[in-house]
Structure 1
Amino acid sequence: MTGLRSSSSLVAAAPVLSSAALLFFCCFTTGAADAGNGGGGLRLGYYSESCPRAEDIVKEQVAQLYHKHGNTAVSWLRALFHDCMVRSCDASLLLEPTATSVSEKASPRSFGMRNFKYIDVIKAAVERECPGTVSCSDVLALAARDGAAILGGPRVVGMRTGRRDSRESHDDEVERDIPNHNDSVSAVLSRFAALGVDAEGAVALLGAHSVGRVHCFNLVARLYPTVDAGVDQAYGAYLRQRCPTADAREDTRDVAYARNDRATPMVLDNMYYKNLLARRGLLLVDQRLADDPRTASFVARMAADNAYFHDRFAAALLTMSEYNPLGDDEGEIRRDCRFVNPAA
C-alpha cells in the first residue's frame, strides 16, 4: 500500500492471550488525516502537554477490563469500525437517543453490539486525570488499538490523536454506510475505499472476524432449506447444530450464535483466512473474499503469513481511524460520551 511505514515500525509481536468470552459482528499515511477539514488537527503526541498520561491510562484500563471481561477488546474493535464508517471517526456512535434524535446504536446494523458502558469507564478514568481534555473519539480509537494488541494482534504504533466529538447522531446514515453480512465484494471494497482503505487493507480489516461470534440471524440463509454449496460439508453440519432452525430472530437477547473461529476464538490471528480457504467462512461476505479475483490473492497470502496479516491490519486500522476528522469548530470534547455537552 502506498505511503506505509515498514512492517517493523508498525507491528511488534504480541503475546497470545486467551479467554472464554467472545463477541463480534461483525496505514499511516499523511493523506488520510489531511483529507477534509484540515486534518482535524490530528498529530502524534497530541496530549503530551495537556494530558501526558492519556494514552497510558487508556492502555491500563483496557488491560484491566479485558482481564475482567474478555469480550470488551472485541467490542471496541467493532465499535471503532461502526463509528468511522458513518460520516467520521467522531464518537457519534456513542450518543444516547434524545427527544429529537435516534441513537446509531438502535440501527439493525448495530445488532449485538455491547460493552459501551466500559468505554464510559475508560473515559471516566481519563476525566479524573484531565477533565474536559481527551475526546471520546480518541478514547475509542486508542481502546481499539490496545484491544487489538491484547487479543494477540499487532501492536499498532503511530496512531495520531486530536479527534473531536460529534454534536449529533447520524442514525439516518447507518444503514447506507455500514456493510452488511451478505454484501457483494464490490460493495464492501467501495465502502472501504471511501475511507481511504484499499482492497488489501479491507481484506486485512475483515480479519477482525477472526475473533468473536455471529448470531444465527445472520447465518440461517446459508443453512436452510439446504446448506450453501460453497460451505464445507462438515462445517455446514456444525453450523446447523449451532443454528438448529431457520427462524432465528434478530430482536431477542437470548440469541444462538456460532464462533467466527473455533480454533482460536479470542486471538486476532490469520486463522480467519485459513478458514476461508477451507470453505469455512462464517459470513457470506467473508467467503466471497476468497473467491473474488480482487481479493483472493490477499486472502491466500494472509493465510500463509500471520506477520503479513498483522502488518496490513495495523496499517489499515490507522487509516480507518483517521477518516474525516472534525475541525475544531465542528466538534467538541464531550465530558460524558453518551451526551453532548450542555450549552454554555
Structure 2
Amino acid sequence: MNCSSSFILLLLSLLFLQFSSGNSQLQLNYYAQSCPRAEEIIKEQVIKLYYKHGNTAVSWVRNLFHDCIVKSCDASLLLEKVAGIESEQASQKSFGMRNFKYVSTIKAALEQECPGTVSCADVVALSARDGIVMLGGPRIEMKTGRKDSKQSWAAEVDQSIPNHNDSISSVLSRFQSIGIDAEGTVALLGGHSVGRVHCVNLVDRLYPTVDPTMDPVYANYIKGRCPTPNPDPKAVLYARNDRETPMILDNFYYKNLLKNKGLLVVDQQLASHPITAPYVQKMAADKDYFRQKFSRAVLLLSENNPLTGDQGEIRKDCRYVNAH
C-alpha cells in the first residue's frame, strides 16, 4: 500500500471515529453547519419575549431544572397529555410553572430557519442560558446536540424533584445523584434569587404559628402577602423570593438567608446546616464566587444524562412526539 492510500485510510478512520463517537456527545456549536443561526435565533427570541413578558426569563431557568433533574435533559417536560402520554406538567411539583406556550414561539422561529434540525431539549438549555443573562446572571457556554425524549417521565417527577420542605440532607443527596456536589447545590438554589413563590408553599411557615427561624418583621410582610392559612391555588397570591432585587440573579439571596429572610424551608436551612452554611456565607460575601459556582452547577445540570446521536428524536412540535 502506498503512502497516498495509507493517508486516505487514516482520514477515513478519523472521520468514522468522529461520526461514531464524537456525534454521540454534546459539543460546542453543534449546529454550526446544520443551522448556523440556531443559537442566535434562540437568543433573539429570548430577548424579545423578555421585553414583552419579563417573567419568561425566570420560566426558562425553572424549565431547565425541572427538565434536567427528572431522568434526562430531554425536553420530556414539554410533552402535553395525549393518548398514552401523561404530562410532567400535571405533577404538583410543577405547580406555578408557566409560559410553556412561548417555548413554541422559539421553536417556530427555528423551524422556519432550519426545519427539523434543532431539538426542543437544546431550546430548553439555551433559552435558560440566555434567560440567565437577561436576569443579570453570568453568560454560560453550553454544549448542544441533545435529542428529544419520545416519552414522558411523569411517573418519576415526584421522586426526582426535591420538595420545598425537604431536609437539606435529602436535597443534597438528590443533587449528588446527578453529579452536583454540596457547593454546587447551594449555588444552584441561588436561582431562587429571582421570581416568586405562591402562598400555597409558604403558609406552613406562617400558620398556626410563625416558623421561629424566620425574622419576625419579614414574617409580618409574608403574612401580608399570604393573609390566610388556606390560600386559593388559582389566586394570584405570592411573595417575591428577593424583595431587594426581585428580577436580578445575584447573591442577595444568600444575604437574606443570613438575616433569616429565607422564603422556603429549604432556603433557610441552607444557612444553618453545617455542610451548606459555609458556602452560604461565602456566596453572600463574594458575588463573583457565586456567579462562578452557579455557572458550573448550571452546566452540570444541563448535561445530565442527555440523549444524543441516534437516541431520541428532534420533535417538530415540542408539545408532542413525532408521528412515525
TM-score (norm 1): 0.87
* Cα offsets for 1:151-200 (capped at 9, x unmatched): 0011112x110000000001000000011110111111111111111111
Q: Find the aligned partners of 2:191 and 2:36 in 1 and give their Cα distance.
A: 30
Alignment of 1:295-306 (within 5 A): 295-306=276-287
Equivalent position of 2:275 in the other structure: 294
Equivalent position of 2:320 in the other structure: 339
Match of 1:147 among 131, 151, 157: 131
Equivalent position of 1:176 in the other structure: 159
Relative contact order higher in (CA < 8 Å, ≥ 6 apart): 1
Equivalent position of 2:203 in the other structure: 220
Q: Find the aligned partners of 1:114 and 1:330 in 2 and give their Cα distance.
A: 28
Which aligned runs of 4 or more in structure 1 are off by greater than 3 angstroms? 37-40
Does the CA-based 8 Å contact 2:213-2:260 persist in structure 1?
yes
Equivalent position of 1:246 in the other structure: 229
Q: Find the aligned partners of 2:181 and 2:286 in 1 and give their Cα distance.
A: 19
* Cα offsets for 1:53-83 (capped at 9, x unmatched): 1111111111010000000000010011000
- Count residues with an aligned counterpart: 304
Q: Unaligned 5+ residue runs, structure 1?
A: 1-36
Q: Percent identity?
A: 64
For residue 255 of structure 1, report the CA deviation from its aligned partner.
Answer: 3.3
For residue 39 of structure 1, report the CA deviation from its aligned partner.
Answer: 9.1
Equivalent position of 2:37 in the other structure: 53
Does the CA-based 8 Å contact 2:193-2:241 persist in structure 1?
yes
Equivalent position of 1:272 in the other structure: 253
Q: Find the aligned partners of 2:130 and 2:177 in 1 and give their Cα distance.
A: 25
Q: Which has the larger radius of gyration?
A: 2
Alignment of 1:78-227 (within 5 A): 78-157=62-141, 159-227=142-210
SS in 2 for 1:258: strand
Does the CA-based 8 Å contact 1:212-1:265 persist in structure 2?
yes
* Cα offsets for 1:110-157 (capped at 9, x unmatched): 000000111111111111111000000001100000000110011112
Partner letter of residue 285 of structure 1? V
Q: Find the aligned partners of 2:308 and 2:59 in 1 and give their Cα distance.
A: 27
Q: Find the aligned partners of 1:236 and 1:168 in 2 and give their Cα distance.
A: 43
Partner letter of residue 247 of structure 1? N
For residue 100 of structure 1, report the CA deviation from its aligned partner.
Answer: 1.5
Equivalent position of 1:313 in the other structure: 294
Alignment of 1:33-52 (within 5 A): 40-52=24-36
Partner letter of residue 249 of structure 2? L
Partner letter of residue 116 of structure 1? F
Q: Find the aligned partners of 2:179 and 2:53 in 1 and give their Cα distance.
A: 33
C-alpha root-mean-square deviation of aligned residues, in Å? 1.3
Q: Find the aligned partners of 1:39 and 1:80 in 2 and give their Cα distance.
A: 23
Partner letter of residue 236 of structure 1? A
Q: Find the aligned partners of 1:94 and 1:304 in 2 and give their Cα distance.
A: 37
Partner letter of residue 255 of structure 1? V
Equivalent position of 2:5 in the other structure: none
Does the CA-based 8 Å contact 2:203-2:229 persist in structure 1?
yes
Q: Find the aligned partners of 2:165 and 2:23 in 1 and give their Cα distance.
A: 33
Does the CA-based 8 Å contact 1:276-1:286 persist in structure 2?
yes
Does the CA-based 8 Å contact 1:39-1:324 persist in structure 2?
no
Does the CA-based 8 Å contact 1:38-1:327 persist in structure 2?
no
1:75 is the counterpart of 2:75:
no
SS in 2 for 1:303: helix
Q: Find the aligned partners of 1:145 and 1:202 in 2 and give their Cα distance.
A: 18
Equivalent position of 1:5 in the other structure: none
* Cα offsets for 1:271-305 (capped at 9, x unmatched): 00000000000000000000011110110010011
Partner letter of residue 51 of structure 1? C
Does the CA-based 8 Å contact 1:40-1:325 persist in structure 2?
no
Alignment of 1:4-43 (within 5 A): 40-43=24-27
SS in 1 for 2:35: coil
Q: Find the aligned partners of 2:236 and 2:204 in 1 and give their Cα distance.
A: 16
Q: Find the aligned partners of 1:77 and 1:334 in 2 and give their Cα distance.
A: 21
SS in 1 for 2:239: strand
Does the CA-based 8 Å contact 2:24-2:310 persist in structure 1?
no
For residue 40 of structure 1, report the CA deviation from its aligned partner.
Answer: 4.3
Partner letter of residue 281 of structure 2? A
Equivalent position of 1:18 in the other structure: none
Q: CA 1:80/1:303 → structure 2, altered by over 3 Å: closer, same or farther?
A: same
240-249 or 70-79: which moved more?
Answer: 240-249
Q: Find the aligned partners of 2:32 and 2:312 in 1 and give their Cα distance.
A: 21
Q: Find the aligned partners of 1:225 and 1:129 in 2 and give their Cα distance.
A: 56
Partner letter of residue 291 of structure 1? S
Q: Find the aligned partners of 2:267 and 2:24 in 1 and give their Cα distance.
A: 33
Partner letter of residue 305 of structure 1? D
Does the CA-based 8 Å contact 2:26-2:308 persist in structure 1?
no
For residue 318 of structure 1, report the CA deviation from its aligned partner.
Answer: 0.6
